[in-house]
Structure 1
Amino acid sequence: MIKKLACIVILSGISFAAISQVNTATKKTARPDIPGAFVLELGLNRGLSAPGDFSLGLWGSRTLNVYYQYEFRILKSKFSFVPGVGFSMERYKFKNSYVLDYANATAPEPSMIAPANAGYPSIKNSKLITNYFEIPAEIRFTLNPDDPARSFKIGVGGRIGYLFDSFTKIKYSENGETKKIKDKQDFNLTKIRYGLTGRIGFGNFSLFGYYNLTPLFEKGKGLKDSGTFNDFNTMTIGISLASF
């Protein structure tokens, strides 16, 4: 899903660029002035104080956020309120090839199953994918609010999200053939999450960070560490690109 959306965004950018060139050459129509901004964020996910068997690969554990935001300037100051709406698509790749699943049909909570006990031969990679509908909002300071595309800016805020899709994806080899399987479940993941965001950048490029205030799994229903529930949180850091 992440690759498909990225391709759509890239193709859309190429199309808009081509249209812009044609308009510049003919000078018959003006470029459409769409209010607000479309934001594309690419980031890396980490589990904070997660159980040892919830060990994540660096690049394979990534996020793609796609938002539409609208900036409301506060009076004539350099501050503005920026709400938005969009989607956050996250994946967690387990570098030890463990599989997130229930130990048996009656198990009340999921666990990390060792590759030898997961029921799949020669596991190549194992991932958890979570997709959220989200509402971000931030207070932003822009050094030159009259020319935001060429100005330094910094923002702090938060976002709230609803989990609408989750599944594991397992890639394994059997009889010389590579196979993939998806297991679509909620795995006791937290349905409604909220967290803090921050960003700093120049023009339409910025660095961002997100700290999830709610645990990845529901409290007392997620993964255990040495027999005790580990209600760990997650964070994401990455880059952000916006259109103006």
Structure 2
Amino acid sequence: MHLGGRHNLRLQMQFGMRGIGSKIGYNMTKHLLFIFIAWLCVASAYAQKPDSSLISRHRPGLFWFYDGLRTKEQADVHKYERLILDVFYCDWNTPKVKPFQSDWTSIGWNIQSLFDIPVTKWNNVSLGVGLGYEHTRLQSNFVLDRMESTKSTELSDFLPVLQYEKSVFKTNKLFVPIELRFRTSGWKHFKFVVGGRIGYQFSNSTLFQYTNAETTVRQTTVGFYDFRPLSLSTHLRIGIRNWAITGSYNLNPYFKSAQSTKINGFQIGCSIALF
């Protein structure tokens, strides 16, 4: 800044060396700021990694700030499939009913959050462990009868006396998924996932809707005499990027009694990884 004129001369005489010191400090601040900006630009250029423009595609949302308990090098590896939503068609495997005889409205879903733990350097192989919730709904032309005398459950046809309109079987489950994940390199990767789930089933119910003597009856019953709370299942996903086809199968039957109809549930649908 040019210090000229009577007003500036008066200021110089008034403040003396303090004005010179301020000018020197101002110039030094400009130089330090310039050096800092130049160093920051150079450091950023050297620190930038190949493919860094894709980081936001792999670590979006809240997970951008999450590294967990792993080292910096491991935290920099791209993470995949940490919040997954599955929507699927529900059916059961039983000697009394052929597969895929359930109504098309037999739709269920689950949502699960998992940690992606790299096994290889570039995360082409990893482990997935987490927690999830699942709700299934199966509508069919069969009824689950609760047999009080034997404390068992039997799958039977609709009674001809009653005009059944709807028979629905619902389950709810909290589960721990454990997965082994394989994927190719790159953003547009192909993936194959196989794993299992250990779950606890609760609030399981049936809904019957029928007409008797021109009266529509809607009956909901929660619980069974011999329902198995522990669920063991296996599942797989095959897909590209964050989309996949998924399938799962319950390894143990729904009901524990030896006199109950043996029923194993299975699901087929699609999966999307949100993070």
Q: CA shift at 1:143, angstroms?
A: 0.9
State the alpha-carbon separation in 2 of the partners of residues 193 and 52 from structure 1: 21
State the alpha-carbon separation in 2 of the partners of residues 92 and 114 from structure 1: 15
State the alpha-carbon separation in 1 of the partners of residues 115 and 133 from structure 2: 16
Q: Residue 130 and residue 160 in structure 1: after superposition, are their counterparts in 2 closer, same or farther (change >3 A)?
A: same
- Summarize deviations over 1:11-32 as a string: whole Å, max 9, x none: xxxxxxxxxxxxxxxxxxxx74
Query: Which residue of structure 2 lines up, in the alignment, with residue 63 of structure 1?
Result: 108
Aligned with residue 62 of structure 2, among 29, 33, 58? 33
Aligned with residue 164 of structure 2, among 123, 131, 138? 123
TM-score (norm: length of structure 2)? 0.64
- C-alpha contact 2:91 2:100 (8 A) present in aligned 1: no
Q: CA shift at 1:186, angstroms?
A: 2.6
Query: Which residue of structure 2 lines up, in the alignment, with residue 99 of structure 1?
Result: 143
- C-alpha contact 1:101 1:187 (8 A) present in aligned 2: no
Q: Residue 185 and residue 75 in structure 1: after superposition, are their counterparts in 2 closer, same or farther (change >3 A)?
A: same
Q: Which segments of 5 or more consecutive residues in structure 1 lack a partner in the other structure?
A: 1-30, 224-230
Instruction: List aligned pairs for 1:3-152, cutoff 5 A.
Output: 32-34=61-63, 37-52=82-97, 56-77=101-122, 78-95=124-141, 98-103=142-147, 105-116=148-159, 121-144=162-185, 147=187, 150-152=188-190
Aligned with residue 206 of structure 2, among 159, 168, 172? 168
Q: Residue 129 and residue 200 in structure 1: after superposition, are their counterparts in 2 closer, same or farther (change >3 A)?
A: same
Identity %: 24
Q: CA shift at 1:139, angstroms?
A: 0.9
TM-score (norm: length of structure 1)? 0.71
- Summarize deviations over 1:132-188 as a string: whole Å, max 9, x none: 1111111111212x63xx321111111111111201011234576654321011342
Out of 64-73 and 173-182, give the one that drifted further: 173-182
State the alpha-carbon separation in 2 of the partners of residues 81 and 99 from structure 1: 40
Letter in 2 for 1:33: L
Letter in 2 for 1:43: F
**Root-mean-square deviation over aligned CA pairs:** 2.7
State the alpha-carbon separation in 2 of the partners of residues 196 and 52 from structure 1: 22
State the alpha-carbon separation in 1 of the partners of residues 250 and 272 from structure 2: 21
Higher helix share: 2
Q: Which segments of 5 or more consecutive residues in structure 2 lack a partner in the other structure?
A: 1-59, 67-80
Point out the structure with max Rg over C-alpha. 2
